[in-house]
Amino acid sequence: MTCWLMKTEPDTFGIDDLATRPGQTEPWDGVRNYQARNFIREMRPGDEVLIYHSSCAQPAIVGIADVAGEPRPDPTQFDPESPGHDPRSKPETPRWYLVDVRYRAHLPRPVSLAALKAQAEAFEGLLLLSRGRLSVLPVSAAHRDRILALGKG
DNA sequence: GCCAACGTTGGC
DNA sequence: GCCAACGTTGGC
């Protein structure tokens, strides 16, 4: 079972929004990057997800969620009204995928990007630090444990 | 298949 | 709001 990190902009849809959704679950649509897409397709129900807030005053890992279902085609790619519309996508050959993400908990203390950078050796290899623009990425068990330890109250 | 132009992400 | 990094597109 893999642990993942998924980014979101709190001004648009933050962890508080996730926590107050019906079923505390949201289809994580709109990912339009091939590397991120490939990671989504590797996700399995029950996998743990770290929720990261980006493009905000304090970029940080703010909580824990899990993967609530199998990866499936992102329906917004077929919707001409959606900003995620991709005219190249056909229902029989979908290009973009999503998973449903279910809220589990806030971290008692957010783990800021600055805090991660301050322990650069400990977080060596963490794609959040080396692939700044990747919005979905795997997190090793060791890094995950360390992040949760930092996030304890 | 190379590479320049362009667009987007996201920290600061 | 600026700008660096870098993924994507499209001409050749």
pLDDT tens across A79-106, in order?
988 889 998 898 888 999 999 999 999 9
Average pLDDT, chain A: 95
> In this predicted model, what pLDDT tens digit does every residue of A27-70 receive, in sequence order?
999 999 999 999 999 999 999 999 999 999 999 999 999 999 99
Two tokens, residue A45? 């129900």
- Interior/surface letters A78-106, b for 16+ CB within 10 angstroms, e for the rest: beeeeebebeebeeeeeebbbbbbbbeee
pLDDT at A145: 97
Instruction: Output the domain CATH number for residue A77.
Output: 3.10.590.10
Q: Please report the pLDDT score of residue A1 as a whole number.
A: 86
Q: Reduced to 3 states, what is the DSSP secondary structure of residue A56?
A: coil
Q: State, as a whole number of angstroms, the distance between the CA of A34 and the C1' of B1.
A: 20
Rounded CA separation A4/A67 (Å): 9
Asked whether residue A34, judged by its CB, lies under 7 Å from any atom of the DNA or RNA strand C, the reply is yes
Phi/psi for A96 (5° steps) reads -120, 145
Give the predicted TM-score (pTM) of the model.
0.95
Which residues constitute the domain of residue A88?
3-152
- Say which nucleotide is closest to residue A59, CA to C1' distance: B11
C1'-nearest nucleotide to the CA of A134:
B9
d(CA A99, CA A37): 10
Overall number of domains in chain A: 1
Please list, in sequence order, all residues whose beta carbon lies within 8 angstroms of the beta carbon of residue A45, skipping any fewer than 6 positions away: A67, A68, A69, A70
